[in-house]
Structure 1
Amino acid sequence: MDSASNPPTPSSSDASTFERWRRKFSMITGVGGTAEEREADMDARHHTKCEKWKNELMTYSPAVVFMMKHLKLNGADVSSDDLVCAPCDTNRSGGFSPEAGAVVLCQGKLMDKSHMEDTIVHELVHMYDHAKFKVDWNNLRHHACSEIRANSLSGDCRWSRELRRGFVAFSKQHQECVRRRAVISVRNNPACPDDAAAERAVNEVWESCFNDTRPFDEIY
């Protein structure tokens, strides 16, 4: 029988390579593949990038390394396992879970490595406060104080970050950003009944907490 009538069967490695390229093409173009496959591919790419940035920052970022050092001094020895890259269903870039003693980094919500650095430092300030000051997160004043410190010390409120958000101010820009973001965070606390309670909690602790830069010597 002529060999042309029996074309060679693709090897498993050829099929595997083809499938990888098919999935990649589908993810980039949106053509072919199921919505679930495209979502899974995107999550995998976001997770890989998140892990890469996280490990680089934990090794080379002065601010992240500094916070990890001071957390260890206060009984919270942070490892890579304590910073978890995961998909999030909100617009937040990260969060701290007091119950788990861990930080969630919202893969896919982080614009670049600098944004991740600010997010990690922000959440590590919460972790530091939890370890050092025994924060009661259901107490709105406690929560407000930690949010003021985290927003002020992390780089979240630097001018360039605010500009990206569409907020431009030339007088007390940093303070306005810290206050606004702290109020929003406290308002999202399930123990907070309304906007007025969130604003009141932030106002009551503002002066002492904004001026408390521990463990930094000054605002980062």
Structure 2
Amino acid sequence: MTDGQATAKATSVASNNGNNKPVMDASCRSCVRLVREILQNPTSRPRQVLEAFAGGMQQQQHKQEEQHPSFSLKPIDEGVQVDLRVPDEPWSLLKRWNRIAPPPQEETSRSGGLTFPAPVLATSSSLSNTTTPIRYTTETIRIECRPCEETGPEQGARALIMGPNPLSIIACTNRLAVHDRAEMSEVLVHELVHAYDVRRLRLDFSDCESTAYSEVRAAREAECYTGSKWAPTLLQEFCVKQRAIAATNNVFPTWGRKCVRSVFADAYKDPRPFSQDDLRQYVLRSNDSIPEGNNHSSNHQRQYYQAVGGSDK
């Protein structure tokens, strides 16, 4: 959404308040409280994404990092502000996607959302000189709760990402069950993966294939996440593909399916922001938090069947 566009507000101004301080409604307060609880829980999936975003669990355990926390959570009226201390490392562009879709101005887009530089898809970080000290920079992400519009890019969305400055994740309180921890966690993971792709991979969301690349990765980590190596791979791939096609079609209705097909194989196996060490530790840590007797694998399989729909023809 452009800066000039009006957005729905999660707050109303109290007439008896002399300084006109905004007052949130009950659903927004519940949403804000739940977001804070989830992000403060060290075993939650959104928290794991933030840790990986900030450099990975291995970095968290490094003695040097004990004096410089990799991220901090700051309460704000509408939600949470996340300040991440991330490596300031350049990304080398090893490949540009062959454009199969017309430039954004030739496509009838319902987005109007993020505006970024020319399409760039970084597929690998440049090799760093181990003798050179790592430089760090601070990335800020605002996670806010408010009602979303019924028209335009917010139409039908449970959550969305806006930016680039500040980069914001909006949780739509008029479409989310604000007391449902599982749904809120899923939405936060999905949008945090997008935030990573915008900030660290420098993906251009006005480009169809870059959007598709990010939607594949976000669906894999959120709606279609298994948490178990025993999950049915083909079923997960089907879930991810259908979710990514639906999401990309919202922005590129003519080319969305083709863009997802063109990037799916590479995007699906791209583990970033996680490393293999991160993934192993996250699974162990998450399994420790599952109550005894919980049929975790079966629950995820049922969620897959509920999530997928249609066919990729």
What is the TM-score of this pair, normalised by structure 1? 0.66
Partners of 1:157 and 1:67 in 2: CA distance? 15
Q: How does 1:34-183 map to 2 (within 5 A)?
A: 44-60=25-41, 61-73=43-55, 79=73, 80-81=80-81, 82-89=142-149, 90-99=155-164, 100-111=166-177, 112-154=180-222, 156-158=223-225, 172-183=234-245
Instruction: Compute the RMSD of aligned alpha carbons.
Output: 2.6
In 2 relative to 1, CA 118–136 (structure 1 residues): closer, same or farther, beyond 3 Å?
same
- Which of 189, 204, 219 is matched with 2:262 structurally? 204
**Cα shift readout 1:52-92 (whole Å, capped 9, x = no counterpart):** 11000010043222222233349x95741310001013332
Query: How many aligned residue pairs are there?
Result: 162
Stretches of structure 2 that go unaligned for 5 or more consecutive residues are 1-23, 57-69, 74-79, 82-141, 150-154, 227-231, 284-313
Cα shift at 1:150? 0.2
Cα shift at 1:126? 0.4
- Residue 108 of structure 1 aligns to a residue in which SS? coil
The corresponding residue for 1:28 is none
The corresponding residue for 1:18 is none
Partners of 1:171 and 1:68 in 2: CA distance? 25
Does the 8 A contact of 1:68 with 1:78 survive in 2?
Answer: no
What is the TM-score of this pair, normalised by structure 2? 0.47
Partners of 2:163 and 2:71 in 1: CA distance? 14
Cα shift at 1:132? 1.3
- Residue 56 of structure 1 aligns to a residue in which SS? helix
**Cα shift readout 1:165-200 (whole Å, capped 9, x = no counterpart):** xxxxx88322222111111211121xx251xx1111
Greater RCO (Cα-Cα under 8 Å, separation 6 or more): 2
Does the 8 A contact of 2:197 with 2:203 survive in 1?
Answer: yes
Does the 8 A contact of 2:211 with 2:248 survive in 1?
Answer: yes
- Residue 170 of structure 2 aligns to a residue in which SS? strand
The corresponding residue for 1:167 is none
**Cα shift readout 1:106-157 (whole Å, capped 9, x = no counterpart):** 1132231110001001100000111111011111111000000000012x12
Query: Which is greater in Rg?
Result: 1
Does the 8 A contact of 1:84 with 1:104 survive in 2?
Answer: yes
Task: Give the fraction of aligned pairs with identical amino acids, expressed as a percent.
Answer: 22
Does the 8 A contact of 2:53 with 2:273 survive in 1?
Answer: no
